[in-house]
Amino acid sequence: MASPTSLLKRLLLGRPFRSDRLQHTLLPKRIALPVFASDALSSVAYAPDEILLTLSIAGASAYVFSPWIALAVVVVMLTVVASYRQNVHAYPSGGGDYEVATVNLGPKFGIGVASALLVDYVLTVAVSVSSGVANLGSVVPFVATHKVMIAVVAVVLLTAVNLRGLRESGTAFAIPTYGFVIVIGGMLVTGLVRVFVLGDELRAPSADLVIQAEHSVTGFALVFLLLRTFSSGAAALTGVEAISNGVPAFKAPKSRNAATTLLLLGTIAVSLLVGIIALARLTHLQFVEDPALQIVSGPDGYVQKTVTTQLGEAVFGSGSILLYVVAGMTALILFLAANTAFNGFPVLGSILAQDRFLPRQFHTRGDRLAFSNGILFLAAFAIVLIVGFQAEVTRLIQLYIVGVFVSFTVSQAGMIRHWNRHLKTERDPEARRRMHRSRAINAFGMGLTGTVLVIVLITKFLLGAWIAIAAMAVIYLVMLAIRRHYDRIAEELTPPDQGRAVLPARNHAIVLVSKLHQPTLRAIAYARATRPDTLTAVTVNVDEKDTRDLQEEWERRELPVPLTVVDSPYREITRPILDFVANTRRESPRDVVTVFIPEYVVGHWWENFLHNQSALRLKTRLLFEPGVMVTSVPWQLASTANKDLDRLDATLSRGPARGPRVVPRSTLPPSVPLAVPVPPGESAPTGGDRG
């Protein structure tokens, strides 16, 4: 029977995939779009909220600037999409901004971009899920009162789905993503048709509210407010870079499919953003930063609803089933938008681990061929942010987009150097024209995103952006430290170019004894079979009677190995053995000591708590002793007889248990012998029978 942990893992994640199934997890464009673009598509659900609530600081009259702010965001988004299409074609390996910066600007710029992206991915999960809870809470009061708990549960569910593998998560997210585009697009078309074709007067639920400005905003203050509004609306650009980081997940031709998906993403996101802002102006929608302070006259117990929910009520009517569909699909896409980060963060973490800037565990794929460690790490930190900021989108959004615009700007600078380098060697006129055009696009993109970055830093630094900047700095320093550690260890472990390894002068074998039972006798027999220079058995005297009984039994059996008793007046086991081992090796630095530890092999997980605890502590401490080798000598208890190892192997490999792989003789040189299976009862063939 499998352990409860294994059963739970199989239930949640499914059966493991073989490594050769990796090609089956690659994504076509129709699945890649919702997988990698759900973040950028869903940001149109909260970017309009941030634009309007920031403008509300100056009063309702400031809403007149909202179309111009949206237009500025659209210009930046189209520029970034055009720039990243160049990145995708030039660097299809999946490193994205990190690879572009590292190759063209150097490793320090690369890890600077990587630290910014890692922080931004974590914030993507926290902001998207929190915004989804806010939208759902607009129509379901229970959600509004338990938003932190529901947000955490949503992150846990997203983690479980992504741990099952990329292809399965992509299929699961395709329907909601396309459903959101259809529902919101249908709402916008219906609203615009009713206004311009049918002549209906649509009014949002908040249209008749009287709101007041928080501050009198004129002159420079108004300019600063508009810049802050633009920086908040620029949250709509988050997620665009995920496609360039996820090119390896596309089906061939990878670069072309990724570039097409990027273009589709930009077109859909721009259309939805412009449509929502336009319909909000036509319905006189109002959305404020502090309803309790800014709303002068309104109904008792008024609860401010999100922009998309108010538009749904204006277009379809209060209580309409379509209103609940709009709110539900908006909340769902915001929950699933975090999937962009769940796909981008682990891939980037794997690349960084391969380059030795993160622990190597981030480079390892799990049972379902997903980068499980990266997924779990991302989920844990996102939950910390959600709980720490109480799932408040307005508070989290201040930390947002700093990282993504850092990566945008540095990446475009790297692409300019990339094209400059290739133009020095390229002689084909047509190719040079394409490179000049691409360089111009990237140069314009760098200038525009750099300007936005400066605006974001100026307008949001004191509002919380400093936290994101500090986190980037910490991650940057940690990655440098990890790389220095790996480099130092690699240098230490590199064998010399000349000379052979120094052999140990003598091998002293020590068998640890607690009782004289079958595991101890097996350990002694195995230690003798290794033919050490010296061999002794060691026991620690923590109980006088038990020690005397052990000595008497030892003498009665006439064992050919001397028994050494180490005194322990304070009844400690580990320290006396460590001192004995150190004294044994102290006579010569070229001597080694091999410690044999008898251990029980148990059949049930709970038996581990009852056995081998002293052995585990000893092994852990002995590993830090120079010149000491530790050998575990297993003794299988009767409970292991219930283990069907063949069945366990078959389950893990999703097929029958297999023996050694047979290599055809035709593929081997004549000098290579083949192993011949020996039927029961027959002797193995001699050298003359090989072949």
**Entry field: residues in the chain:** 691
Nearest-angstrom CA–CA distance, 253 and 266: 20
Q: Which of 290-299, 363-372, 476-485 has the highest mean pLDDT?
A: 476-485
In 180-318, where do the E strands start and end? 210-211, 295-297
pLDDT tens digits along 640-670: 776 655 555 555 454 444 444 444 444 444 4
Nearest-angstrom CA–CA distance, 272 and 269: 5
pLDDT tens digits along 481-533: 999 998 888 888 777 766 566 677 788 899 999 888 888 899 999 999 999 98
Nearest-angstrom CA–CA distance, 219 and 225: 10
- The reply to whether 541 and 445 lie within a common domain is no
Contact in structure between 397 and 127 (CB atoms under 8 Å): yes
Give yes or no for residue 680 having a pLDDT over 50.
Answer: no
- The reply to whether 194 and 244 lie within a common domain is yes
Name the pTM for this structure: 0.70
Torsion angle in degrees (nearest 10) through CA of 513, 519, 523, 529: 150
The token duo for 665 is 């003789």
- The reply to whether 299 and 417 lie within a common domain is yes
pLDDT tens digits along 46-76: 788 888 888 888 877 888 888 999 999 899 8
**Sign of CA pseudo-dihedral 374, 404, 167, 160:** positive
- The reply to whether 418 and 511 lie within a common domain is no
Residue 196 domain-assigned? Answer: yes
- The reply to whether 511 and 614 lie within a common domain is yes
- The reply to whether 387 and 481 lie within a common domain is yes
Closest CA to 124 of 248, 258, 275, 240: 240
pLDDT tens digits along 532-551: 988 999 998 888 888 888 88
Domain CATH code at residue 81: 1.20.1740.10
Rounded mean pLDDT, 353-367: 76
Residue 34 domain-assigned? Answer: yes
pLDDT tens digits along 421-460: 888 888 888 888 988 998 999 899 898 888 888 888 888 8
Residue 141 domain-assigned? Answer: yes
- The reply to whether 431 and 512 lie within a common domain is no
Rounded mean pLDDT, 231-260: 77
pLDDT at 354: 85
Torsion angle in degrees (nearest 10) through CA of 50, 53, 58, 62: 70
Number of domains in the chain: 2
The token duo for 95 is 């490193």
CA 254 from chain centre, in angstroms, equals 22
Enclosing domain of residue 445: 25-485
Residue 2 domain-assigned? Answer: no
- The SS3 assignment for 653 reads coil
Quick count: other Cβ atoms within 10 Å of Cβ 593?
A: 24
Domain finish residue from 456, 485, 514: 485
pLDDT at 216: 66
Domain CATH code at residue 560: 3.40.50.620
Rounded mean pLDDT, 382-408: 83
List residues bridging with 563 in a β-sheet. Answer: 537
pLDDT at 525: 92
CB-based contacts of 193: which residues, under 8 Å, 6+ apart? none
pLDDT at 256: 83
Residue 217 confidence class, pLDDT cut points 50, 70, 90 = low
Give yes or no for residue 613 having a pLDDT over 90.
Answer: no
The larger pLDDT score, comparing residue 365 to residue 313, is at: 313
Contact in structure between 112 and 272 (CB atoms under 8 Å): no
Give yes or no for residue 170 having a pLDDT over 70.
Answer: no
The token duo for 403 is 């990282």
Residue 356 domain-assigned? Answer: yes
CB-based contacts of 527: which residues, under 8 Å, 6+ apart? 509, 511, 535, 561, 594, 596
- The reply to whether 523 and 475 lie within a common domain is no
Bond from prior residue into 346 cis (ω within 30 degrees of 0): no
- The reply to whether 106 and 72 lie within a common domain is yes
Burial 541-569 (b: 16+ CB within 10 A, else e): bbeeeebeebeeebeeeeeebebeeeebe
Residue 8 domain-assigned? Answer: no
Average pLDDT of every residue of the chain: 79
pLDDT at 673: 41
Burial 194-211 (b: 16+ CB within 10 A, else e): bbeeeeeebebbbeebeb
| DSSP per position, 428-468 | -HHHHHHHHHHHHHHHHHHHHHHHHHHHHHHHHIIIIIHHH
285 secondary structure, DSSP code: -
Nearest-angstrom CA–CA distance, 346 and 359: 12
Residue 418 domain-assigned? Answer: yes
- The reply to whether 477 and 534 lie within a common domain is no
The DSSP element (H or E) to which 598 belongs, if any, is: strand 592-601
Residue in this structure with the two tokens 């229970």, named with its chain if needed: 142
Residue 670 domain-assigned? Answer: no
Nearest-angstrom CA–CA distance, 339 and 335: 8
Contact in structure between 124 and 239 (CB atoms under 8 Å): yes
- The reply to whether 321 and 435 lie within a common domain is yes
- The reply to whether 463 and 518 lie within a common domain is no
Percent of the chain at pLDDT above 70? Answer: 82
pLDDT at 262: 85
